[in-house]
Structure 1
């Protein structure tokens, strides 16, 4: 269970340029609850770069720098709240990256042992870590490397997992040199209220976490830049993504394609 933030822009920009300084400060403060590491991936020329840190992001100077001082046409950033039993270490931190594709998740899949059976040892070792997110990424890569476009591989994998694990939460951000993909798939997923209580934050719990923890929202700036975020940010202009949908943003044109994951789930399994 984590927090996601991404931006794409027509020219290199910082996340602060796209969503404003107050929102960047507010998002980094989500690290008071999501304390199990942070990471970021960004477009550098035609390559995807990545940095991960197993320490918390609240007050972390490197995270601040990633949000406000390093311009890029596309960036995703992640704050981790670890699923019980999964260690807090760099190998389990998001985003995961294989080649020129990076992926971060907000959610969980249980039982993880059943998901693990779907992935080979070699596939998981290639992604790294031991999390359900790493397993999902391995399944996406299997499809993509068999010839499916990345958007197809992501949405089909998410739909198939949701069909078998109906209470799974699968909010994903996937970044390649060509596209940013966001999936909003979490109907029926239980909100981790026990973890909120254990945090001791009380009334300082971030906005919308009690009722809309898995909500993804987006907004577009006047210059065409697009931002996507998990719940926790306030302010004007944010629009909620519809349940069980996915979007693909073309980095070259900023054209947005939308897909209904219910329709994807209804298609025959290949």
Structure 2
């Protein structure tokens, strides 16, 4: 996953630099199961998805380098076993002006799926664990819960019920970018890495820090957020089991401990 926010419309490439942007797209040599992007266009969130790999996809190159926006998130998919590689399952999911991308999985799937109705899942589209997580978040938003509260409370509850889940999320609305880093105890999918045949060409940090999220702020105030896979100076690792909300109008960053959210929910 990758995202940027900026005080003025810019490309992701201009925020990361050419080399890092190219390095990120090369993650598509492992994350081969489609790609997608969502971005702020005026006051609307737009989205594009493609079930083909992003590694050598010119549309992905253009999305990163040719279309300025004050906020954009982009996702390369490594499909969870059992979920088909098709556009409907490709991230980011979007309902209205909220888009969501996910790195990780929630297992076992059956009890997770049982938490939402067929209608809720059809609204999101797709059939994956990510689609269910998004449907649960939207259930709270629909009754007036602020998006950041809905995201953090949903993740906190799922982490309690599914302790080996990996729930790294990027959520974009016209008002905010939310990043969630929640995966302590989640197993790294080493078997998928081995099956890839990449050997020593695996992306950086994928064995030791696969579910890591990092952020970097530029001198002009722009902020980038990325999963593992990028090298270079200036990256700061997000603390485990935390979430941040970046206000798109001010670029103010609000941080939240998910354990505190869980404790408040119990109280």
Normalised by the size of structure 2, how large is the TM-score?
0.99
Counterpart of 1:146 in structure 2 is 143
Q: Does the C-alpha gap of structure 1 residues 269 and 147 become closer, same or farther in structure 2, counting only changes over 3 Å?
A: farther
Runs of 4+ in 1 over 3 A off after TM superposition: none
- The answer to whether structure 1 residue 193 and structure 2 residue 193 are counterparts is no
CA separation in 2, counterparts of 1:28 and 1:266? 39
Counterpart of 2:75 in structure 1 is 78
Once the two structures are TM-superposed, the CA of residue 268 in structure 1 deviates from its matched residue by: 2.7
- Unaligned 5+ segments in structure 2 are none
CA separation in 2, counterparts of 1:268 and 1:142? 16
- The answer to whether structure 1 residue 22 and structure 2 residue 19 are counterparts is yes
How well do the aligned residues superpose, as a CA RMSD in angstroms? Answer: 0.8
CA separation in 1, counterparts of 2:183 and 2:29? 23
- The answer to whether structure 1 residue 36 and structure 2 residue 33 are counterparts is yes
Counterpart of 2:201 in structure 1 is 204
Counterpart of 2:85 in structure 1 is 88
CA separation in 1, counterparts of 2:266 and 2:114? 18
Counterpart of 1:172 in structure 2 is 169
The SS at the match of 1:209 is coil
Matches within 5 A, 1:30-69: 30-69=27-66
CA separation in 2, counterparts of 1:49 and 1:144? 19
Matches within 5 A, 1:240-255: 240-255=237-252
Q: Choose the corresponding residue for 1:116, options 77, 96, 113.
A: 113
- The answer to whether structure 1 residue 238 and structure 2 residue 238 are counterparts is no
